[in-house]
Chains A and B, each alone.
Chain A
Amino acid sequence: MLLLTCPNCGLAVEETELAPGGEAHLKRFGPDSTAEQFEEYMFLRDNAKGVHFERWRHAYGCGKWFLAARNTATLEVYGTYPARTTEPPQHIRDEIARRTGA
């Protein structure tokens, strides 16, 4: 079972306590955006095999959203971080670099 630490309340919880929210760091476009931009935001996904950034909600806990860096090919978890970020923070990127050797 997948275990993640919610960065909002600090609890390390099992997957059954969480609701998955799909790929993170999607870019939204404003009211004048094109159909292509909306498709990009709404449907197209990297669906990466390897390092994947994704959204989770601590649904049966504090109820708040957070983000996780995880590997979809090995199921390793690199870390979790608050949802108020537009890109993965430095300490997460360092951890990924350390563990993947990249």
Chain B
Amino acid sequence: MRRFSAFAIAREAMRNHEGWGRTWAKRSPAKRYDVIIVGAGGHGLATAYYLGRNFGITNVGILEKGWLGGGNTGRNTTIIRSNYLQDPSAAIYEKSRGLYETLSQELNYNVMFSPRGVIMLAQTHHEVRGYKRTAHANALQGVATEWIGPERVKELCSIMNIDGPRYPVLGGLWQARGGTARHDAVAWGYARACTDMGMDIIQRCEVTGIDRDGERVTGVQTTQGPIGCDKLGIVVAGHSGVLAKMAGFRLPLESVALQALVSEPVKPCMDVVVMANTVHGYMSQSDKGEMVIGGGTDGYNNYTQRGSFHHIEETLRALVETFPMISRLKMLRQWGGIVDVTGDRSPILSRTPVEGIFVNCGWGTGGFKAIPGSGFGMAELMAKGYSPLTAAFGLERFREGRFIDESVAAGVAH
């Protein structure tokens, strides 16, 4: 792998930029791999990367039915934060946020991590109490957040109207080291590092069946032929239920559409990320100047990557009150992704009833922020059979009633 550096730019400038290699290699599948990861999105690629980096497992095939990073990795609103209430959540999301801090240096690929700060607005008295509680919990967990009053919110984000009649801003939970990153670059950077370790990334290779020998996985059937493996990692977000069905078990997930949209580009006006969970809306400004807006999920199962228009209308209607200036903006693009939502709104990183198959799913509406931490923990789980980071996120928690309930108390927009 050619390292990116100032020297490399100077060298390539001298020879018409003909020496840059491909970011990742196009490969056709081998007969078998030690580990197959299904899904070349952020979580799948990060899992493969940390398998190689931390455990020396590099005979890895990463299968992708579409194109690399073309699912939810390319469809999210790129927010990174770790201000969760429950200890297991704070641990994995804070690990992830910490890895993001140095990810560009580690991968030698600019993921444009921008710790610009995230405010979660409290717009009801219930939220004020909830976020104060989260700030205290975060202090105990070693996650740097603080409760701030409405004046400080206004200072951090001057385009906000804090006196709205219906949704006044009563304060917020502020995480100064939260922010955003370039979502495509995260996938591309991991893919480049995986290729560099000799792993095969195989695009347009859809898994159509899972082979078992009794209770053990032996390989997968794909549109590019059968491939054998010792261990199989299913990291496919919205389609997790489809893959689980092939393997012969069910998951506590429902797949629903989540939509996002961007406005026309405008001059810089907002240098923090703002989330407003009461009204299910969140907004930040991209480096291109577009206002990036996300909303709530649809209520019904859906695999089409299209959502209901009234959700966009509801999100914008609420945000216009809090950010009056966006009433004049034209919205340029709108899209949807299929997110897999669990009952307790926490992810699943787990062994499965089939020996050798592991699942990493259920990130629901907030998976992007977790990519490095999720891959880090999942790799340890797949390599050693146990990871302290993922131990609480096992499938058995539903049967045993040990939920990591982020659905009501903590900072989750859903």
- A contact residues vs B (CB 8 Å cutoff): 1-2, 15-16, 19-20, 22-23, 35-36, 38-39, 42-49, 52, 54, 70, 72-75
Q: Provide a sorted-by-A list of 22 A–B residue pairs whose CB atoms are within 8 angstroms.
A: A2-B308, A15-B308, A15-B310, A23-B301, A38-B399, A39-B252, A39-B398, A43-B343, A44-B250, A45-B251, A47-B242, A47-B250, A47-B254, A47-B255, A49-B241, A49-B255, A49-B303, A54-B300, A54-B301, A72-B255, A72-B301, A75-B302
**CB atoms of A73 and B399 under 8 A apart:** no
**CB atoms of B308 and A45 under 8 A apart:** no
Chain A residues with CB below 8 A from B245, complex form? 46
Q: Kindly report which residue of chain B lies nearest to residue A56, judged by CB atoms.
A: B300
Q: Which of A23, A38, A39 has the most CB of B within 10 A?
A: A39
Q: Kindly report which residue of chain A lies nearest to residue B340, judged by CB atoms.
A: A47
**CB atoms of B254 and A35 under 8 A apart:** no
A19 and B300 CA atoms in complex are apart in Å by 9
- Given B299, B302, B343, which contacts A72 in the complex, CB threshold below 8 Å? B302
Chain A residues with CB below 8 A from B301, complex form? 23, 47-48, 52, 54, 72
Instruction: Using A35-B400, A39-B399 as known contacts, say yes or no to A47 and B253 having CB atoms under 8 A apart.
Output: yes
Chain B residues with CB below 8 A from A72, complex form? 255, 301-304
B309 at the interface (CB under 8 A from A): yes
Chain A residues with CB below 8 A from B133, complex form? none
Chain A residues with CB below 8 A from B250, complex form? 44-47
- B contact residues vs A (CB 8 Å cutoff): 239, 241-242, 245, 250-255, 299-304, 306, 308-310, 340, 343, 398-400
Instruction: Using A43-B398, A52-B301 as known contacts, say yes or no to A1 and B308 having CB atoms under 8 A apart.
Output: yes
Chain A proximity of B174: nearest CB distance (Å): 34
**CB atoms of A2 and B300 under 8 A apart:** yes
Chain B proximity of A55: nearest CB distance (Å): 10
A35 and B396 CA atoms in complex are apart in Å by 11
Instruction: Using A1-B309, A1-B310, A45-B254 as known contacts, say yes or no to A74 and B300 having CB atoms under 8 A apart.
Output: no
For the complex of A and B, 3 pairs with smallest distance between CB atoms: A47-B241, A20-B299, A43-B252
Q: Besides the contacts A45-B251, A47-B255, A52-B301, what 18 more A-B pairs have beta carbons closer than 8 Å? A: A1-B308, A2-B308, A39-B398, A43-B252, A43-B399, A44-B251, A45-B252, A46-B250, A47-B250, A48-B301, A49-B241, A49-B303, A70-B300, A72-B302, A72-B303, A72-B304, A73-B304, A75-B302
A96 and B381 CA atoms in complex are apart in Å by 42
Q: Kindly report which residue of chain B lies nearest to residue A35, judged by CB atoms.
A: B399
Chain A residues with CB below 8 A from B310, complex form? 1, 15-16
Q: Kindly report which residue of chain B lies nearest to residue A68, judged by CB atoms.
A: B300
Q: Kindly report which residue of chain B lies nearest to residue A20, judged by CB atoms.
A: B299
**CB atoms of B398 and A73 under 8 A apart:** no
A98 and B127 CA atoms in complex are apart in Å by 50
Q: Kindly report which residue of chain B lies nearest to residue A75, judged by CB atoms.
A: B304
**CB atoms of B303 and A73 under 8 A apart:** yes
